[in-house]
Every structure is written in structure tokens, then in C-alpha cells.
A and B are shown apart, each in its own frame.
Chain A
Amino acid sequence: MNLSDDDAVQAPLSVGDRNAEFTRFMRKYQDMVYSTTARLSGNDAQAEDIAQEVFLRAHRRFDELKDNPRAAGWLKTVATNLTFTHLSRYRKRWVFFSQLQSQDEDGDAPEQEFPAATSVTDDVQDDERHEFVEAALRALPEHQRVPLVLFHFEEMPYEEIAIKLSVSLPKVKTDIHRARQALAGILARRGITAAQLEP
């Protein structure tokens, strides 16, 4: 978030202009909510729908949320839960595909269109690397991407992820480990290595 966004949030608000106030609230948090839904769902269009529903719910409770320091946490929790609800609607289809995939190679990622690799060299730019990482995340199968995102982005411990996803603790650890391997493999093939992360 840049400085101008922060200024907009702190600007004095006209009394009774609830929509203007809510717009400022939304500008402050929309990237955070969208990031959560997009990374968990792996689908930008669905992520936008889910993020919209998050803010519609936030609007209903806006009086409680607008000055609440826990608003970000509330939004993240609702975004995560709504994404789970959305994903569970496709659960049977997922099971089918994940079983097919596990017969092949559980850690291998499906074919995914990545940004052009022509500029990916040792001096790869940050923006390009960010794009690659997002694309690589989308390429992971759901049963690996979801726990990986929860662990590394949402900073959720293994035990909580296991409870949240109704799976065993060893399975969570295995899936996250395989997700890391798959992610590192995808990125390594495109020239992104640990060495580039050195400051």
C-alpha cells in the first residue's frame, strides 16, 4: 500500500456519509482481501466474486468494523472461510482430479501458462519474479496450494491448517512439503533461485 492510500484513510470524513467512509475502508483493505481469495482459490474471476461478497458482509457490520483495529483480521477470516466454502462446492470434482493426479505424480504441477521467459536471467526484475511466483502458485494443485498459502501467507500453524481443512497433521506437512518442492522446481526451471533472493 502506498503513502497516498494511507493519507486517504486518515482524511477527515464527512458526517453521515457512510458510503464515502466505506469506500475508504474498501480502498484500504481490498488488495489484502483480493490477495487472500486469489491465492487460495487460484482463480482470479472467482476470487473477485468472493472478495465482493466479503465486502458486502463487511458493509452489513461496518459500524463495528470501521474503527476496529481487528478489522483486517476479520476480513481475512471471512475471506478465507468464504473461499473454503466456494472450494468445497467443487470438492467431489477435486477429489476426482486429485486422485487422477496422485496416480501420476503427486507433487507435479499441471501445465500452466507463465509470463514470457525471455527476460528471466540472473538479473530478473522483482516485478517479473512476483508474476512468476503468482503464476507458479496458481499452477499448484489445490490440495497443495491451499495449505501452502495458509502456512506462508496467512501464517497459520500446521495444526490449525489441519483442523481448518479437516485433514490429518502428517498430510498437511506432506502436502506443504510437496508444494514447496513443486514451487521451487517450477521457479528453478525458469531461472529463479535462492541466490536471487539475497539482498
Chain B
Amino acid sequence: MTSLEQFVDALLRRQPLRRAPAGFEARVLQRLAQQAARPWWVQGFSRWPKAAQLLFLPLAVGCVPLLFRAAGSVTALLQSARQSAPVSAAQSAATTVGTLGHTLQTLGDLVTREIPSVWIYGSVGLAALLYATLFGLCAAAFRSLVLTPQHAPY
């Protein structure tokens, strides 16, 4: 160990801890109180009640067919309204929405009736795999291109 290293080492080892600012403790506690006051559904998923966590996934998946059915109902409603009243700008917009809903319904029917479930699950799995692959590639590119030693500030 050189004398310079010894000097600096001795100097820094004698340094006491820096005292946290006077209001630090109160600030942290206030922040914790603010976080605790937020409703659970505003907080992160990991902080949800266990029951809500368990129910969330099936409910979310179950919403998909409901969405398709709702789209179909809206389409039917709009079509009946179009047939029974004169055309206006509002009805024209409604027709567009109705067409969109009809498309969604058709897609829903196609997905649920025409495509075998193996294909659906396979596609979802493939999409997840591709997503993970792309994520990994981007992370690797970021680490190698952005966080390389020659770019590091140290």
C-alpha cells in the first residue's frame, strides 16, 4: 500500500457517518402515510389483496367474450335504429361505430368458433415468446451499445 493510499484510507476511515437531514424521518413517514391512504387498486399489483390478485386474471380473461357480445349488441341496436329513422350526421357516425362493432363481433365469432383452441393458445404462447425474445434482444443491445465501458462516465 502506497503512502498516498494509506493517507487517504486513514482519512476516509475516520470520517463519521453523514447525518441525515433533520426532517428526513418525518418526510419518509409522511410519504408512507400518503401511500397507505391510496386505495389498493391504485397501488401496484403486488400490493393488491391476495383475493383480488387471484380474481383479476380470470376476470380479465372473462371480459374478452363479454366485450365481443357487447359489441354485437351495440351493432344490432344501431342497425335497428338506422332502419327506423332518416339518415343524419349522428347516424352516420353511429353506422361507423356499428360497423366497427360488427367487425369485432365477427372477429370474436371467428376466434371462438372457427379457430381451434390449440391454435389460439399456440399463438398466444408464440406471441409471448416473441415478446420475450425481442425484450431480451433490446436489453442486450442497450447494455452492449449504450452501457459499454467507453461510454461509461467513470
Residues of chain A having any CB pair with chain B under 8 Å: 1, 19, 22-23, 26-27, 30-35, 38-39, 44, 48, 51-52, 55-56, 59-60, 87-88, 91, 94-95, 98, 126, 130, 133-134, 142-144, 146-148, 152-153, 165-168, 171-172, 175, 177, 180-181, 183-184, 187, 192, 194, 197
Contacts and interface: CB of A to CB of B under 8 A. Distances in A.
Given A34-B21, A126-B14, A192-B11, 13 more contacts: A26-B25, A51-B24, A52-B31, A56-B35, A91-B152, A133-B11, A152-B9, A167-B154, A180-B5, A183-B11, A194-B3, A197-B10, A197-B11
Contacts of A94: 153
A33 B151 CA distance: 28
A183 B18 contact: no
Contact of A167 (B17, B20, B152): B152
A166 B148 contact: yes
B18 A19 contact: no
Interface residues of B, number: 35
Contact of A52 (B4, B11, B27, B147): B27
Contacts of B6: 194
Given A23-B29, A34-B18, A52 B149 contact: no
B24 A52 contact: yes
Contacts of A181: 4
Interface in B21-55: 21, 24-25, 27-29, 31-32, 35, 47
B154 A180 contact: no
Nearest to B46: A60
Interface of B: 3-21, 24-25, 27-29, 31-32, 35, 47, 147-149, 151-154
Contacts of A22: 32
A146 B32 contact: no
A30 B32 contact: no
Contact of A31 (B20, B31, B32): B20
B17 A32 contact: yes
A52 B20 CA distance: 10
Given A194-B3, A197-B10, A35 B24 contact: no
